[in-house]
Amino acid sequence: MLARHDLLWLSEQGWREAVWTVPEEAAPALLRWRACGWPAVMRRADADLAPGQVSVGIPLPPRAEDGRKLRVAGRVALDAIVRQAPPLPLAQLSGMPAHWHAPLAALAQQAQTHGLAIGVFGSAALQAITGQAYLRAGSDIDLLLQPRSVTELDTALALLRTHARGLPLDGEIVFPGGRAVAWKELSAAREGSLASRVLVKELRRVALVRIDELLASLEEQACLN
């Protein structure tokens, strides 16, 4: 099953037949992306997406002259995808600023100790995958975690809060069904009422969902496992 932030490698025919919305100045960069064989990134589905298609993006690096990010949106056929992978595992993240190395290694080690799988998406992951310069002075590290129980969720949030003191951590917690919540928003909401709502992003919609509903989905998943 495809999910937001998945990495998708396209066939040559897929590249030829894809429908792209490309700013004129981004056209050469898109051609280079294709030539280098880098993956597209799964994004939220367009409202008018045709059956058998998926919505993808090519997030290009910031322009050197002004730091502006150019984003290329596309639609490709499902059968154009020759390889799919989840976001880059934290342990495989390379090419990061030197002052991040030790705290990232500590985060990865503690996550492994707790049995937590952490993926990386966004600028940090794209810099590691392509070798291009994505990170700026104010860049965040976007992390993706999929806890399997409420206990694992609270462990993950505590770990993120601790390491956010030394790293610019951002990202999402993904609940069953692909429902993703910004971890900082979720962490704050866990301190309040279970009836409070948080912004949830899914593949085809965005909605406000109660905390207790999200927690119940984790409990149900834990029982099934």
Question: What CA–CA distance (Å, rounded) separates 99 from 36?
Answer: 29
Partners of 89 in the beta sheet?
Answer: 119
User: What residues contact residue 36 under an 8 Å CB cut-off, 6+ apart?
Assistant: 130
Distance between start and end Cα atoms, the chain: 19
Catalytic center residues? 140, 142
Report yes or no: 119 and 92 within 8 Å, Cβ to Cβ: no
Q: Phi first, then psi: what are they for 107, rounded to 5°?
A: -60, -45
